[in-house]
């Protein structure tokens, strides 16, 4: 199968589901609206595959050209001709030649079941010890070419640590990806095009078809004891979209028509096993992926760190870090988000404001704890308004962070006689606090964005509203959680004492005092 020429991408057209080749995304009749992958991590991966393909083959020269293709997508012939230039790099099943995201000349290696490509799949020891309680082994035995291509791409772009010498992805294991999505119902083309940068934002040269961009088109840059690391200076900048840290070779087999264990569709070609070997490409240095937010070292002594999925999920407490650039902390949004906030939003007059789609794995080394998927609003702001928001939003989030911490600690005091000795996961409590205050936060964010850039002070009633909202929410959640246990197990004296202490902290913490002093309360 060739991933440029053959129809393998599962999509939703205006008149129903279909499978298409990448260039068919711009067919005007029965337009393509969405990708419909069988798993959420595949959905995010296929978006990144198509964005990477467009960025590699169809980078607009400047903002004006980007706008032209926003207004009117390219013709089918134009896009097909452009993609065909790299078609030879996208063969999936060439046994003795370069194949998509597979090691160039892997002759040996450990043989693994195809389920091993899935990041949440239990390892061999977990299955042997009968510890695969939640994600059972053995459920995925054979996978069709469409799903195996997606699984392979998903693993290579998210690769966590996988044992000695099994390298992590170019952005580290389980990176957070942030994509700008249209605010209204739009075609798949517009959803992708919002995340393709012009040459003013992403420097590229003419494509040289080879391992500089597509590492599987040449011998792997081995990273064993006598090998070498791979820095941005060693290869083409476009390799950020096509990183290949894992050495893998798929073993295809022809079979009678039967169902794929992932998508459930019938096929006559499958992959049940693959070979893998350690010490593949080891990405080091100042790699910056355009679809991921980073934290830069203000002293510029250490390489940038990509933001990752975190235990407890994503929420408005992460809004600043994924949408804005804070020079003091070093937090910087993904380059595609920055391009939208600083340039594109001001050109797309009459369009609904875009939203931010954030997703990624929460990894504990090689163990996938959770997959997170969240949407946040984006705003239309000038430079002065952005500076104001950085300060104002930080005050609100700092106060909410303090309050959520007090809620958690005082609930432990209410529940346990020796609270400090008790270990355990209380993320459910904190998560409920963040989720229940989210709508109010975003409503205030909209009010902030309506204030002119030369207004340096927030109206006191906004501070008052937020202080009252998070205080009352914390007390309500405390009552709900502390009193829901059976009466015979509750120690009312301890509960009342913990509640009094919570109320005191909600008045006297530094962040809350800042809010209260600036409010009309």
pLDDT, residue 312, reads: 75
pLDDT, residue 432, reads: 92
Q: What is the pLDDT of residues 30-57, one digit of tens each?
A: 999 999 999 999 999 999 999 999 999 9
pLDDT, residue 189, reads: 97
Half-sphere exposure of 305 (CA within 13 A, CB side): 12
Q: What is the pLDDT of residues 369-401, one digit of tens each?
A: 889 999 999 999 999 999 899 889 999 999 999
pLDDT, residue 487, reads: 59
3-state secondary structure 171-204: CCCCECEEEEECCCCCCHHHHHHCCCCCCCCCCC
Share of the chain above pLDDT 70, in %: 98
- Per-residue pLDDT band for 153 (boundaries 50, 70, 90) equals very high
pLDDT, residue 207, reads: 73
pLDDT, residue 88, reads: 94
pTM for the model:
0.93
- Using only C-alpha atoms, the chain has a radius of gyration, in whole angstroms, of 25
pLDDT, residue 328, reads: 75
Q: What is the pLDDT of residues 437-487, one digit of tens each?
A: 999 999 999 999 999 888 888 888 999 999 999 999 999 999 998 887 665
Q: Does domain 381-520 have CATH number 1.10.760?
A: no
Q: Is the pLDDT of residue 25 over 70?
A: yes
pLDDT, residue 57, reads: 95
Question: Helices (DSSP H) in 305-382: which residue ranges?
Answer: 319-323, 335-339, 345-347
- C-alpha distance from residue 420 to each of 99, 398, 416, 423, 441 (Å): 55, 24, 9, 8, 32
Q: Cα–Cα distance between 184 and 310 in angstroms, integer?
A: 29
Question: How much is the mean pLDDT over the chain?
Answer: 90
pLDDT, residue 417, reads: 80
DSSP-assigned states of every residue in 368-431: EEEEEEEEEE-----HHHHHHHHHHHHHHHHHHHHHHHHHHHHHHHHH-TTGGG-----HHHHH
Q: Which of 364, 347, 351, 380 minimizes the C-alpha distance to 451? A: 380
Q: Is the pLDDT of residue 96 over 80?
A: no
Which H or E run includes 228? none
pLDDT, residue 423, reads: 78
pLDDT, residue 511, reads: 85
Q: Is the pLDDT of residue 326 over 90?
A: no
Q: Which segments of the chain belong to CATH 1.10.132? A: 381-520
Q: Cα–Cα distance between 115 and 102 in angstroms, integer?
A: 17
Q: Cα–Cα distance between 324 and 336 in angstroms, integer?
A: 11
Q: What is the pLDDT of residues 393-418, one digit of tens each?
A: 999 999 999 999 999 999 988 888 88
* Residue 313 neighbours by CB distance under 10 Å: 17
pLDDT, residue 489, reads: 66
DSSP-assigned states of every residue in 106-134: --S-EEEEGGGGSTTPPPHHHHHTT--SS
- Per-residue pLDDT band for 519 (boundaries 50, 70, 90) equals confident
Q: Cα–Cα distance between 108 and 126 in angstroms, integer?
A: 25
pLDDT, residue 42, reads: 97
Which residues does 282 contact at the CB level (< 8 Å), separation at least 6? Answer: 167, 221, 223, 227, 229, 230, 245
pLDDT, residue 486, reads: 66
pLDDT, residue 378, reads: 94
Half-sphere exposure of 187 (CA within 13 A, CB side): 18
pLDDT, residue 415, reads: 85
Q: Cα–Cα distance between 498 and 124 in angstroms, integer?
A: 46
Q: Is 249 helix (H, G, I), strand (E, B) or coil?
A: strand
- Per-residue pLDDT band for 491 (boundaries 50, 70, 90) equals confident
Q: Is the pLDDT of residue 281 over 70?
A: yes
Handedness of CA 420, 426, 429, 432 (dihedral sign): positive
Q: What is the pLDDT of residues 223-244, one digit of tens each?
A: 988 889 999 999 999 999 999 9
Q: Which of 245, 241, 223 minimizes the C-alpha distance to 102? A: 245
Q: Is the pLDDT of residue 128 over 80?
A: no
Q: Cα–Cα distance between 449 and 82 in angstroms, integer?
A: 41
Q: Is the pLDDT of residue 521 over 70?
A: no
């Amino acid at each position: 199968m060739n991933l440029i020429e053959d129809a393998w991408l599962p999509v939703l057209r205006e008149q129903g589901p279909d499978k298409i080749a990448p260039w068919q995304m711009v067919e005007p009749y029965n337009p393509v609206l969405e990708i419909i992958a069988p798993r959420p991590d595949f959905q995010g991966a296929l978006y990144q595959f198509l964005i990477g393909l467009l960025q590699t083959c169809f980078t607009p020269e400047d903002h004006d050209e980007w706008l032209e293709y926003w207004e009117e997508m390219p013709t089918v012939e134009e896009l097909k001709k452009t993609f065909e230039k790299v078609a030879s790099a996208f063969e999936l099943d060439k046994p003795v030649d370069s194949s998509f995201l597979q090691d160039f000349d892997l002759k040996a290696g450990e043989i693994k079941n195809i389920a091993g490509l899935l990041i949440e799949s239990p390892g061999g020891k977990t299955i042997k010890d009968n510890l695969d309680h939640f994600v059972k082994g053995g459920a995925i035995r054979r996978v069709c070419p469409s799903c195996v291509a997606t699984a392979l791409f998903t693993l290579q772009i998210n690769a966590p640590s996988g044992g000695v010498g099994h390298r992590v992805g170019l952005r580290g294991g389980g990176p957070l990806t942030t994509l700008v999505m249209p605010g209204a119902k739009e075609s798949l083309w517009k959803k992708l095009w919002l995340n393709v940068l012009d040459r003013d934002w992403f420097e590229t040269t003419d494509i040289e078809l080879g391992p500089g961009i597509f590492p599987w088109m040449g011998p792997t840059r081995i990273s064993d004891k006598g090998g070498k690391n791979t820095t941005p200076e060693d290869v083409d900048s476009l390799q950020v979209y096509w990183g290949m840290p894992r050495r893998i070779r798929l073993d295809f087999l022809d079979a009678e028509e039967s169902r794929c264990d992932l998508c459930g569709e019938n096929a006559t070609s499958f992959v049940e096993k693959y070979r893998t070997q350690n010490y593949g490409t080891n990405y080091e240095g100042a790699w910056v992926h355009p679809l991921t937010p980073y934290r830069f070292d203000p002293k510029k002594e250490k390489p940038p760190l990509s933001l990752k999925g975190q235990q407890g999920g994503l929420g408005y407490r992460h809004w600043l870090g994924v949408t804005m650039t804070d020079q003091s902390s070093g937090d910087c949004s993904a380059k595609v988000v920055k391009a939208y906030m600083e340039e594109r939003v001001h050109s797309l007059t009459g369009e609904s404001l875009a939203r931010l789609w954030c997703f990624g794995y929460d990894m504990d080394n090689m163990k996938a704890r959770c997959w997170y998927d969240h949407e946040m609003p984006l705003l239309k702001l000038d430079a002065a308004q952005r500076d104001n928001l950085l300060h104002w939003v930080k005050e609100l989030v700092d106060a909410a962070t303090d309050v959520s911490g007090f809620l958690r600690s005082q609930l432990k005091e209410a529940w346990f006689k020796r609270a400090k000795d008790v270990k355990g996961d209380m993320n459910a409590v904190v998560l409920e606090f963040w989720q229940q205050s989210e709508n109010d936060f975003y409503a205030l964010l909209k009010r902030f964005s309506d204030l002119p850039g030369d207004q340096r002070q927030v109206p006191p009633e906004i501070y008052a509203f937020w202080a009252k909202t998070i205080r009352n929410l914390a007390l309500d959640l405390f009552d709900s959680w502390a009193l829901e246990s059976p009466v015979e197990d509750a120690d009312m004296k301890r509960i009342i004492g913990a509640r009094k202490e919570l109320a005191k902290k909600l008045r006297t913490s530094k962040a809350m005092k800042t809010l209260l002093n600036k409010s009309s309360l």
